[in-house]
Amino acid sequence: MNIKEVKKKDNLTVNRENAEHGDVFLPVNSYHCLIPFTYRELALHWHEEMEITFIQEGTSDYKVGKEEFKANAGDIILIPPYCTHSACEIPGKTMISDSMVFHLDYLGASNQDLSASKYLRPMAEGQLVMQEVIRECDAGYEEIKEAFLGALDCFKNKPSFYEMLLKEQLLHILILLFSYGYIRESDDSHITSENRWHIKSALEFIANHYSEKISITQLAHLAGFSKNYFMNLFRQYVGMSCVQYINHYRIQEAAHALEETTRSVSEIAMLNGFDNISYFNLQFKRSFGMTPREFRRNQLEL
């Protein structure tokens, strides 16, 4: 596909991703992305599925959990279930990537057997950690790359018995990741499975009430933690402070409104939780490097 033939798509995805990653019978999907044509910024979000991305060409900025890095051609990016992540165009640079997103239940995480209890369910529940990026110089790289491209080809071309073959190939990828130490037990005793669920509940609350006043005390109370403990736990899990995340979420919603509606900047600011237009303009410029009006003008010119 010629990069110039790809039409501009919605470039803003927030919090819990709304996209359907396959269906109940085959909870798997693949995505071919071309920055900046598919998106300029894939905003911070999370989903229940695991995601593996292979960078075909170019470079872009990535954030997976707390880690920020430049993704370059050849990199394999691992995103575990429920992990917040984002990607952003580097001005003047392009990137082409292929991703597979799949639910671990498809591979048997909810089963009552040893492979589920030792490996798949702990992955799904966040009890294990994954290395964020595998590079060409890392151990097992060629095997993992070959296995991923094989699974991608199987999903796209659907050969005979592909439903069973795809499951086999995805399991093979996970076996390789375990074998080379890219999935391992967490050494962070503070981020328990229960704590993760509390933070996810806070993220859901923010998604549902971002246009209202939200206090850290309120979120900490909902999670059942002291304010200080909640703030530290939130930063450990999300990679930014709770206030930063709320502002980030509101700014992304405001950017979407600037792109899709004709409402005034001040009205959009108020509808997205900002009662001070100067503070809104400051936060927006920090996120996008331009004022809301400049952003709207640029979007109209695309």
User: What CATH number did the domain enclosing 213 receive?
Assistant: 1.10.10.60
Single-letter amino acid, residue 275:
D
Q: Which two tokens stand for residue 73?
A: 């051609």
Q: Which residue has the higher pLDDT, 236 or 138?
A: 138
- Cα torsion 160, 111, 237, 254: sign: positive
Q: What is the DSSP letter of 105?
A: G
My answer on whether 161 and 16 are in the same domain is yes
* pLDDT single digits (tens) 133-155: 999 999 999 999 999 999 999 99
User: Which residues pair with residue 29 across a beta bridge?
Assistant: 101
* pLDDT single digits (tens) 251-285: 989 998 998 899 999 999 999 999 999 999 999 99
What pLDDT score does 4 carry?
Answer: 33
My answer on whether 203 and 105 are in the same domain is no
pLDDT of 100 higher than 90: yes
Q: What is the DSSP letter of 86?
A: E
**Residue ending a domain, choose from 127, 154, 185:** 185
pLDDT of 40 higher than 60: yes
75 touches 134 (CB < 8 A): yes
**Residue ending a domain, choose from 185, 213, 237:** 185
**Per-residue confidence at 198, pLDDT binned at 50, 70, 90?**
confident
Among 33-42, 49-58, 109-118, the range scoring the smallest mean pLDDT is 33-42
What pLDDT score does 302 carry?
Answer: 59
Strands 28-35 and 76-79: unpaired
My answer on whether 85 and 144 are in the same domain is yes
**Residue ending a domain, choose from 185, 209, 241:** 185
pLDDT of 1 higher than 50: no
User: What CATH number did the domain enclosing 30 receive?
Assistant: 2.60.120.280
Cα separation, 22 vs 96, whole angstroms: 22
H-type alpha helices, the chain:
114-115, 121-124, 141-157, 162-179, 193-209, 216-223, 227-238, 242-260, 265-271, 277-288, 292-301
My answer on whether 181 and 200 are in the same domain is no
CA atoms within 13 A on the CB side of 57: 9
What is the residue range of 159's domain? 3-185
Averaged over 204-228, what is the pLDDT?
92
What pLDDT score does 12 carry?
Answer: 35
What pLDDT score does 19 carry?
Answer: 55
What pLDDT score does 210 carry?
Answer: 94
Angle between helices 216-223 and 227-238 (to 10 degrees): 90
Q: Which residue has the higher pLDDT, 145 or 21?
A: 145
My answer on whether 253 and 156 are in the same domain is no
pLDDT of 184 higher than 60: yes
Averaged over 193-215, what is the pLDDT?
87
250 touches 187 (CB < 8 A): no
Highest mean pLDDT among 17-21, 168-172, 295-299 belongs to 168-172
Single-letter amino acid, residue 81:
P
What is the total count of domains within the chain?
A: 2
My answer on whether 99 and 230 are in the same domain is no
Nearest Cα residue to 44 out of 21, 17, 77, 69: 17
* pLDDT single digits (tens) 279-299: 999 999 988 889 999 999 887
User: Which residues pair with residue 30 across a beta bridge?
Assistant: 100
My answer on whether 130 and 160 are in the same domain is yes
Cα separation, 283 vs 292, whole angstroms: 10
What pLDDT score does 179 carry?
Answer: 98
Residue 106: strand, helix, or coil: helix
pLDDT of 9 higher than 60: no
* pLDDT single digits (tens) 73-96: 999 999 998 888 889 889 889 999
177 touches 78 (CB < 8 A): yes
Cα 214 to chain center, whole Å? Answer: 23
My answer on whether 165 and 206 are in the same domain is no
Cα separation, 187 vs 12, whole angstroms: 33
What pLDDT score does 7 carry?
Answer: 34
Average pLDDT of the residues of the chain: 88
Averaged over 177-181, what is the pLDDT?
98
My answer on whether 40 and 179 are in the same domain is yes
My answer on whether 167 and 209 are in the same domain is no
What's the predicted TM-score (pTM) here?
A: 0.76
Single-letter amino acid, residue 64:
V
Single-letter amino acid, residue 196:
R
My answer on whether 45 and 174 are in the same domain is yes
Single-letter amino acid, residue 53:
T
My answer on whether 67 and 113 are in the same domain is yes
